Amino acid sequence: MSASSRNALRAALLYGLLSVVWLQITDHFLSSFLDDPAQLAHWQLINGYVWVFVSAALIFVARSRLLNILGGGTSLKRQRQDRERLRQAAAVFDCTREGVLVTDRNGLIVHVNRALVEITGYTVAEVVGRRPNMFKSGHHDLEFYQSVFKSLQDAGNWQGEIWNRRKNGEIYPQWQTVRAIADDKGRLTHYVAVFTDISAIKNSQTELVRLAHQDPLTDLPNRLLFTDRAEQAIAYAQRHKTGCALLMIDLDHFKIINDSLGHNVGDLLLKAVGERLQGIFGKGYTVARLGGDEFAVLIESCSKASQAEGLAQKVLETMKAAFEINQHQLFVSASVGISVFPGDAQNAEQLLRNADSALFKAKSSGREGYALYTEELTVHALNRIEVASDLRRALELQELRVYYQPVHDLKTSRLIGVEALVRWQHPSRGLVPPGEFIPIAERTGLIAEIDAWVLEQSCRQMCQWQASGVNLSFVAVNISSRLFARPELYTLVSTVLTDTGLDPALLELEVTESAVMEDSQGALDQMDRLRALGLRLAIDDFGTGFSSLLRLKQLPVQKLKIDQGFVAGLPEDNDDVAIVRAVIALSQSMGLQVHAEGIEHVEQAQLLLDFKCDLGQGYWFGRPVPASELDWQRAPAIRT
């Protein structure tokens, strides 16, 4: 017997002895002092109550100590803790968002939680007592389920993706974990499955894949998917000894619509173009949006260029019909480049690149047409790359030159101003014609940097002329649409005028009609800022774009320049005569000075003078030359 037990036994014996002694003593004491039997009985009863109360207290204390000695207290505490843990587990089981299913060892469902009911649509009564195969979707074969059971037997658990069916018949994906539960002796008692509905995750993954391969605006394949399909088409054509073709389609003057009516209208137009292209080609063709206003069509089983040409012509004809967008009736034409496999390319990358070269040719030829790829275009493309590289070097090594072409007053034949024109003195090729490098500079973005350089050089030269006593009214500098669209143009011009000290009234900036009309509100804001500097503004190449007279009268310009394309037909071409007469009359009515370019013989100068044109420029007056070679003498008088 342990020491604790012996102490408890001693305490019990001592309690019994004390009980006998206490009762004897109190009974003797009461008998000695109380003669009345009634009073004696009364106090003996009270003494009994007191002893009962004391005994109860002593018994409670003794019992508690005995239970602690024997471990009974710990057992009760453990039972309370177990009940609390069970209560918490039940709360978690019922409140978790994951579905939980418990089966017995035979696979019959014995318990499910609230989340399972919400996810599957079944009630508890419909599930309990049945087997989990009631949720089978038919998505998996027998081998899949055999692998699940084998994992449970070997490892006691399985985890993975499984597709099940809801009560309403919808098949959905789950991420499920199944675990086998054994008792203390290692005998199987239950299976517990915990699963999460991953439909939202799957949908997000599907949407990401779609966005990676589809254009979000038109829902057409994007460049990535189109290139992949082109590679597949070429591989098929190689195996079956056939061919395929690619049409690269670019919308003409889309930027004007986008800027004038807003990007929302522009986006709707792009969607409408995509739908129209799909309507032309239908199934069996891949229509894609490559970016911006550029689309592409993959034509499989096409080995003849003539077939592709016919489809390209169909595109051009279909695009002529109006587009009804937000109560606007819009017209937009297209240019198409064509390349064919295997004649023009050996892989998808070449097919795309060559179609793009053909598209560049189509747009350079006047737009609203198509062009076939030729090897010559590759040569031209390589030449453009080489020229662009050399042009960057030319800017660094100061190989560019500014030439000046005289501008004369038609009435007096007096030289009153000059136009600054850039030339390129190549170290090995000599003087490169502007037609060879200006378009490439515009395409690569170098034109803005060239414009800035020409502006500074021209202002410095004008200051030198003024200092030497040469009396010129202005020096005109062309500003490309790319530089004109930049907010920093104002800062550039202001800085150049400050650094050179040139009077702003002697500087005239020429902006093409198309640059002004691409973003009329932006152009107006830009011109207002420039006019605030005190310089002059002119619209160059007037008549070649899509001018709005309402916009024109709002622009703070002082001069219109008639494009040389209209002057070249004078005086024989009646249409050119009518156009020139109308432009001069329009300018005069608006209080603008009118300036004709490209005058090459006296008959043209005479007719322009008869129409009351103010200024003239062209080879008849003088070719562009370096500043040191300008002829300051009066030009030959025009016969009147």
What length does the chain have? 640
Tell me what pLDDT residue 264 has: 87
Domain ranges of the chain: 3-70, 93-202, 219-373, 394-629
Among 211-215, 434-438, 491-495, name the one with the lowest average pLDDT. Answer: 211-215
How many alpha carbons lie under 13 Å from residue 217 in its C-beta half-sphere? 21
Average pLDDT score over residue span 115-144: 91
Determine which of 133-142, 144-153, 360-369, 571-580 has the lowest per-residue pLDDT on average.
360-369
Please tell me which of 51-60, 302-311, 456-465, 581-590 the model is most confident about, judged by mean pLDDT.
Answer: 456-465
pLDDT one-digit tens code per residue, 552-567? 777 889 999 998 889 9
345 vs 231 pLDDT, higher one: 231
Most confident of 66-80, 89-103, 280-294: 280-294
Is-contact 597 567, C-beta < 8 A? Answer: yes
Give me the mean pLDDT over the 605-626 stretch.
93
What's the confidence (pLDDT) of residue 518? 61
Higher pLDDT, 318 or 386: 318
User: Do the beta carbons of residue 528 and residue 489 sit within 8 Å?
Assistant: no
- Spell out the residues 6+ positions from residue 235 whose beta carbon is closer than 8 angstroms to its own: none
- Residue 122, token pair as written in the block: 């079944």
Query: Tell me, what's the pLDDT at 584?
Result: 92
pLDDT at 391: 86
Tell me the sheet residues that pair with 403: 421
Average pLDDT over residues 441-465: 90
Q: Which stretch of 68-72, 145-149, 207-211 has the lowest confidence by average pLDDT?
A: 68-72
Q: CB burial class (10 A; 0-12, 13-18, 19+) of residue 87?
A: exposed
User: What does the pLDDT read at residue 289?
Assistant: 93
- Most confident range (mean pLDDT) of 208-222, 445-459, 544-558 is 445-459
Highest mean pLDDT among 40-49, 276-285, 473-482: 473-482
Flag whether pLDDT at 378 surpasses 70: no
Confidence of residue 606 (pLDDT cuts 50, 70, 90): very high
- pLDDT greater than 80 at residue 144: yes
Give residue 525's pLDDT: 87
Return d(Cα 459, Cα 499) in angstroms, integer: 10
Mean pLDDT score of the chain: 83
**Mean pLDDT score, 165-194:** 90
Answer whether residue 604 shows pLDDT above 80. Answer: yes
pLDDT(495) > 60? yes
Lowest pLDDT segment from 88-102, 127-141, 361-375, 402-416: 88-102
pLDDT value of position 207: 65
pLDDT, greater one: 74 or 220: 220
| pLDDT value at residue 463 | 96
Q: What is the mean pLDDT of residues 184-206?
A: 84
Please check whether the domain covering 93-202 is classified as CATH 3.30.450.20: yes
Confidence of residue 87 (pLDDT cuts 50, 70, 90): low
Percent of the chain with pLDDT over 90: 40
Please tell me whether residue 292 adopts helix, strand or coil conformation. coil
Please report which confidence band the pLDDT of residue 374 belongs to, taking 50, 70 and 90 as the band edges.
Answer: confident
Burial class for 607, CB neighbours closer than 10 Å (0-12, 13-18, 19+): buried
Closest Cα to residue 115, out of 181, 171, 174? 174
- Do 219-373 and 394-629 share a fold? no
Confidence band, pLDDT 50/70/90 cuts, at residue 8: low
- pLDDT digits 0-9 by tens, 27-76: 555 556 555 555 555 555 565 555 555 565 555 555 555 555 545 455 55
pLDDT at 634: 65
Place of tokens 């002057």: 567
Q: For residue 89, give the 3-state DSSP assignment.
A: helix
Instruction: Assign domain 219-373 to its CATH superfamily.
Output: Reverse transcriptase/Diguanylate cyclase domain (3.30.70.270)
CATH placement of domain 394-629: 3.20.20.450
Take residue 541 and report the two structure tokens written for it. Answer: 């190449």
Q: Which long-range contacts (CB under 8 A, 24 or more apart) does 388-397 make?
A: 388/440, 388/441, 388/443, 388/444, 388/446, 390/426, 391/424, 391/437, 391/440, 391/441, 391/444, 391/446, 392/446, 394/424, 394/426, 395/446, 395/449, 395/450, 395/453
| AA identity, residue 148 | V
Give the pLDDT band (50/70/90) at residue 206. Answer: low
**What was the pLDDT predicted at 125?**
92
Q: Which of 79-93, 199-213, 434-448, 471-485 comes out lowest in average pLDDT?
A: 79-93
**Predicted confidence band of residue 90 (pLDDT cuts 50, 70, 90):** low
Residue 211: which pLDDT band, with cuts at 50, 70 and 90? low
* Confidence at residue 53, expressed as pLDDT on a 0 to 100 scale: 56
Instruction: Inform me whether the pLDDT recorded for 3 exceeds 70.
Output: no
Asked if 127 and 111 count as a contact pair (C-beta separation under 8 A), the reply is no
**What's the rounded mean pLDDT across residues 89-100?**
69
